[in-house]
Structure 1
Amino acid sequence: MTIKAIVCDMDGTLLTSDSLIDPQTLDKLKELQKKGIKLILASGRSYIRLLPDALKLDMEKHGGMVIDVNGTSIYDVSSKKRDRLGMLNSFHINKINEFFSSFNVEIQYSQDDTIYTYLPEEIYTLKKNIRGEMKLPDDYPWMGGMYGWLCDTRDGYPYQHMIRSLQHSPESCNKISIVQDPHYMSFVKETLTKHAFIGDYEFVFSDERKMEITNKNINKGNALKALQEKLNILDDELIVFGDSENDVSMFHGRKYSIAMANALPLAKQSANFHTEDHNHSGVYSMLNKFEQNGLF
């Protein structure tokens, strides 16, 4: 069966550790789009952070699509039309705040171009010391990321607010992220899996430091299914690349599901194929193999 679409996660999959698309992968994806293959980017990032790479890939010329914020919305790069599938309102935010207030964790509330970062006293003091040691300017973001306690994401979230009270949480957001070091996050996950609260929302780890929360049934897999119905693409006509737990819902039922060598254990277990890591052209390598086997 001929492949009609390629679905790529971004961080840890299509992007290297330097947040770049390696040149041969970039060229290959452009080439395949010219042959009529649809390119779909599926990420935990907001579409605003995804657009620069989408434009580098010429997706606006070929009807490329973006599934952003773990399936919260679908964005058409050509028409610039965005269909929202679900957000967290104040009721859900307060409910999530109440549960995680008993943990020593950073809580991030992601909107389209804005992030609110709540820091409890212990984490605030730790970050304040790190910022001082690094001599960072006052306007440097306080939020944590994949690789450490501080992460500058102003390229996609130009408006960043640090809050010290949960009462100052926003009234709505696309997703909530719970952030701490990997050891503590293992404790959070273990506790959560034993609590009935786990059934109320979608909980996925995008990396070892960060767990992301969206409304029930709002995930990449369901957004991809909706997009497939719109584009008339069957499960076996897709190639799906990913590395994290938020990609597992896209792997389910898809024959050509591919986990990167750097993928989290659950993603590797859920994929039918494996390829090299994101720093060694894993996406390009597998696309090349499939092309040689006549799938394109």
Structure 2
Amino acid sequence: MAIKMVAVDLDGTLLTSGNYISSETQKTLQEASNKGIKIVLASGRPLSGVVDYAKQLGLDGADQYAVVFNGAVIQAINGDVLMSQEMDYRDFNLMLRLQRLSHVNLHFETTECFWTLDRDLSVQMQINAALTNNELRVRDRKEIPQDFTFNKVGFTCDRSSDQIEKLWQTIPDWAFQSYDIVRSLDNCIELNAIGASKGNALMNLASRLNLRANEVMIFGDQGNDLSMFENPGFYKVAMGNAIEDIKDRADYVTDDNDHNGIAKALKKLVL
């Protein structure tokens, strides 16, 4: 199999449930990289939540890349932006309309920090900021300038709440037609500009690197990975802990993220 690029989701895929890269997975990805295979981390996180793991894998500089914000941004590990899809103040106001459909937190993600108008923050929102080494700025609506732009939106609630499910069931058709919306966790909905997805971003990056779709292997487990699994050209590997929609679209199902699923698949299929 002539794989030249391997794209790897982070949470639930590269990272164990303890939020670290296992030694076996690290060793195997470094072996692939040393053989000239481009390793790309593809995450819903901003670069600040990706860069330390990239450097742990030996990926650094202007010629190593990450797909972040669920595909809204492609960045080099040194921070250079290759592609960015943003939303604006009109979208900001529409997100506030959606928030009123249930009792959820809403935050706006940029390459610099997270912004929210909410004073009472869900544990999930605080976890998202902490895991990505991000500043969380709480502001009043009047403090948000009309030239405000952002790359991704997150709706969250605490795990004991049913409010994300309520929001998911009541999001109007116009929103699904205007934005890319995914249910990334039971208590989290993520929203991007239409067309901003991991799958599209990886095709963009592959084109920049003069690679064909059938030279790309992808690993994922959750709803925000579906766009990668819908690309007919990619070789698609689902983690053992993946949701059924991911497994149904996969070419191969490997072990879960706590049992070196990435390493096992690469050794069997590529190395």
- TM-score, structure 1 as length reference: 0.82
- 1:239 counterpart = 2:238: no
User: Distance between the aligned counterparts of 2:222 and 2:166, measured in 1?
Assistant: 19
1:1-296 equivalence runs, <5 A = 1-60=1-60, 63-77=63-77, 80-119=79-118, 124=120, 142-145=121-124, 150-151=126-127, 153-154=129-130, 156-163=132-139, 166=141, 171-180=148-157, 181=159, 183-192=162-171, 195-252=173-230, 253-291=232-270, 296=271
For 2:61 and 2:80, how far apart are their aligned partners in 1?
15
SS of the equivalent of 1:258 reads: strand
Distance 1:173 1:95, change over 3 A: same
Q: Distance in 2 between matches of 1:156 and 1:60?
A: 18
The one-character-per-residue Cα deviations of 1:156-212 (angstroms, maximum 9, x if unpaired) are: 34421235x5555572221110112474322222222x5332211010122111110
The answer to whether the 8 Å contact 2:102/2:164 transfers is: no
Contact 2:62 2:80 in 1 (8 A): no
8 Å Cα contact 2:84/2:151 also seen in 1: no
Residues 46-65 of structure 1 show CA distances to partners (whole Å, capped at 9, x for unaligned) of 11221111111111279321
Give the conservation status (yes or no) of the 8 Å contact 2:48–2:134. no
The structure with the largest alpha-carbon Rg is 1
TM-superposed CA distance for 1:107, in Å, is 0.5
Separation of aligned partners in 2, 1:35 and 1:113: 34
Instruction: Provide the rounded CA distance (Å) in 2 between the counterparts of 1:13 and 1:57.
Output: 15
The alpha-carbon deviation at position 243 of structure 1 amounts to 0.9
Post-superposition offset of 1:102: 2.9
- Aligned pair in 2 of structure 1 residues 62, 81: CA closer, same or farther (>3 Å)? closer
Residue 184 and residue 266 in structure 1: after superposition, are their counterparts in 2 closer, same or farther (change >3 A)?
farther
2: distance between equivalents of 1:286 and 1:64?
A: 22
What is the CA–CA distance in structure 1 between the aligned matches of 2:34 and 2:40, rounded to whole Å? 14
Secondary structure (helix, strand or coil) at the match of 1:67 reads strand
Partners of 2:154 and 2:65 lie apart in 1 by 24
Consecutive unaligned residues of structure 1, counting only runs of 5 or more, are: 125-141
What is the identity percentage for the equivalent residue pairs of Structure 1 and Structure 2?
26
The answer to whether the Cα contact below 8 Å between 2:129 and 2:135 also exists between their aligned partners in 1 is: no
Alignment: residue pair count: 266
**Against the structure 1 CA distance between its residues 24 and 62, is the aligned structure 2 distance closer, same or farther, given a 3 Å change threshold?**
farther
Unmatched 5+ stretches in structure 2: none
Q: Distance in 1 between matches of 2:95 and 2:252?
A: 35
Whole-Å Cα distance in 2 between the matches of residues 280 and 229 of structure 1? 33
**Cα-Cα RMSD:** 2.3
Q: CA separation in 1, counterparts of 2:112 and 2:123?
A: 17
CA contact (8 A) 1:73 1:82 kept: yes
TM-score normalised by L of structure 2? 0.89
In structure 2, what is the Cα distance between the partners aligned to 1:71 and 1:59?
19
